[in-house]
Amino acid sequence: MRGINDSQSGLFSYLSCDQRVPSDHPLRSIKAYADEVLAGMSGVFDAMYSTLGRPSLPPERLLKGQLLIALYSVRSDRLFCEMLDYNILFRWFLDMNLEEASFDATTFTKNRDRLLEHEVAAKFFDAVVAKARALKLLSDEHFTVDGTLIEAWAGMKSFKSKKRAPCSSAPPDDPGNPTIDFHGEHRSNQTHQSTTDKEARLMRKGLGKEAKLVLSGHALMENRHGLCVDLRVEEATGTVEREAAMKMVLQQRKKGALVKTLGGDKGYHTKDFIAQLRSEEIAPHIARIRGRKTPGLDDRTTRHEGYRISQKIRKRVEEIFGWMKTVGGLRKTRFIGIARTQQYAHLTAAAYNLLRLSRLKPT
């Protein structure tokens, strides 16, 4: 028989958020790992807040909220706070009941500044990596590095001469979006700078590509399961890829990793970088540029099976950037400056690693 559409709602509800989430939902393993990592960071959170005053937004919920933003491609904090008001899955993930009010968007955004001040995002990312290491999922010997360009939150019209331009008496045709003619004007990072994001630099990805205002992102991947063990956002320059790679490799050495080999694409095939790796007793499993002869990267290195394996595995580092840009929302940053973009990059990389952990070792 035909069902009846009863629009009268019940007075009471006896179901919890947990009962509404399927037992095999992918977020269950992610939540279990995230809660375990956050429990170990309780001392860090205690140092962030005073023992007096009105309770603030719990840092655990703030960080887990950022994970949801990355995992579900939520485009803004305001939209996330709106979705939290009616999304039972999000409320369950944040350990909220159905009666609790959603976060205020302004409060949610302002509390993220406290995380930035205490570098909590970086500590959270490191704690996730440490959890993966405790589960024996990381390689301590073989790594891969790669870089990418992240579009800055700045338009080309903001890229203006560092010298003060002469004042024009004519008002703009559109004060909100004036028409600007760049034809015939030579613009470079030496003479021009963005007025929106002073740390953004004009760069193009390759020959025949258009130049954009960008930041430079760099990831270090371990070769066993393709997990991201370090991630840095730097100013985009011609040498920053190699400089960031050495910083990340040496940082892994400080954490106890052996780092015997380092894979990379042809952008890392330079004499100085190969010499630096050799000085640190690291085998350069770098893709070679045909016709370029470099001491330390010749047939004595490339003839080995390990080099061939590294060249095959190194392509997986693109999956990290691919996920972070398409799903995590890092193709174009929503934040101004390197520091804020770095914070969001750490949280997005932590979400990626937690997602990989939930597949490799489901709880």
Q: Does residue 271 register a pLDDT over 70?
A: yes
C-alpha 138/C-alpha 130 separation (Å) is 9
Assigned domain for 200 exists: no
- For the segment 97-106, the average pLDDT, to the nearest whole number, is 90
Q: Which residue has the higher pLDDT, 58 or 249?
A: 249
Assigned domain for 361 exists: no
C-alpha 350/C-alpha 91 separation (Å) is 20
Q: How many domains does the chain have?
A: 2
Are 148 and 45 part of one and the same domain? no
Report the share of the chain in percent with pLDDT over 90.
Answer: 71
Q: Which residues pair with 297 in a beta bridge?
A: 294
Please check whether residue 300 is in contact with residue 272, taking contact to mean a CB–CB distance below 8 angstroms.
no
Q: pLDDT class for 150, splitting at 50, 70, 90?
A: very high
Assigned domain for 243 exists: yes
Instruction: For residue 288, give every residue at least 6 positions away whose Cβ sits within 8 Å of its Cβ, in sequence order, or none.
Output: 266, 269, 294, 297, 302
Q: Which residues pair with 202 in a beta bridge?
A: 213
Are 244 and 300 part of one and the same domain? yes
pLDDT in tens, 282-306: 999 999 999 999 999 999 999 999 9
Are 64 and 144 part of one and the same domain? no
Tokens of residue 227, six digits: 């997990």
**What pLDDT is attached to residue 41?**
94
Residue 51 domain boundaries: 17-117
DSSP 80-127: HHHHHTT-HHHHHHTT--SSSPPPPHHHHHHHHHHHHHTTHHHHHHHH
Are 142 and 274 part of one and the same domain? yes
In 12-37, which positions are buried (b, 16+ CB within 10 angstroms) versus exposed (e)? eeeeebeeebeeeeebbbbbebbeeb
DSSP 175-186: SSS-----TT--
Are 143 and 83 part of one and the same domain? no
Q: Which residues pair with 192 in a beta bridge?
A: 161
Cα 345 to Cα 14, 199, 216: the distances in Å are: 40, 16, 11
**What pLDDT is attached to residue 236?**
94
Q: Which residues pair with 201 in a beta bridge?
A: 214
Are 235 and 100 part of one and the same domain? no
**What pLDDT is attached to residue 129?**
97
- For the segment 329-354, the average pLDDT, to the nearest whole number, is 96
**What pLDDT is attached to residue 164?**
67
Are 83 and 142 part of one and the same domain? no
Q: pLDDT class for 57, splitting at 50, 70, 90?
A: confident
Are 35 and 144 part of one and the same domain? no
CATH number, residue 227 = 3.30.420.10
Are 148 and 79 part of one and the same domain? no
C-alpha 95/C-alpha 88 separation (Å) is 10
Q: Does residue 344 register a pLDDT over 70?
A: yes
Instruction: For residue 104, give every residue at least 6 positions away whose Cβ sits within 8 Å of its Cβ, in sequence order, or none.
Output: 81
Are 148 and 65 part of one and the same domain? no
C-alpha 255/C-alpha 245 separation (Å) is 16
CB-based burial label for 243 (10 Å; 0-12, 13-18, 19+)? middle
* CA atoms in the 13 A half-sphere facing the CB of 339: 10
Assigned domain for 132 exists: no
- For the segment 224-230, the average pLDDT, to the nearest whole number, is 97
Number of H helices, E strands in the chain: 14, 8
Tokens of residue 112, six digits: 């993220």
Average pLDDT, the chain: 91
pLDDT in tens, 69-92: 999 999 999 999 999 999 999 999
Assigned domain for 197 exists: no
**What pLDDT is attached to residue 209?**
84
Are 217 and 80 part of one and the same domain? no
Q: Does residue 56 register a pLDDT over 70?
A: yes
* CA atoms in the 13 A half-sphere facing the CB of 94: 29
Assigned domain for 208 exists: no
Q: Does residue 168 register a pLDDT over 60?
A: no
Q: pLDDT class for 223, splitting at 50, 70, 90?
A: very high
Q: Does residue 9 register a pLDDT over 70?
A: no
Q: pLDDT class for 340, splitting at 50, 70, 90?
A: very high
**What pLDDT is attached to residue 165?**
62
* CA atoms in the 13 A half-sphere facing the CB of 202: 19
**What pLDDT is attached to residue 170?**
63
C-alpha 156/C-alpha 133 separation (Å) is 43
CA angle (223, 229, 234) in 5-degree steps = 120
Assigned domain for 300 exists: yes
Q: Does residue 174 register a pLDDT over 80?
A: no
Are 73 and 222 part of one and the same domain? no
Assigned domain for 191 exists: no
**What pLDDT is attached to residue 47?**
86
DSSP 183-230: TT----TTTEEESS-TT-EEE-SSTTPPPEEEEEEEEEEETTT--EEE
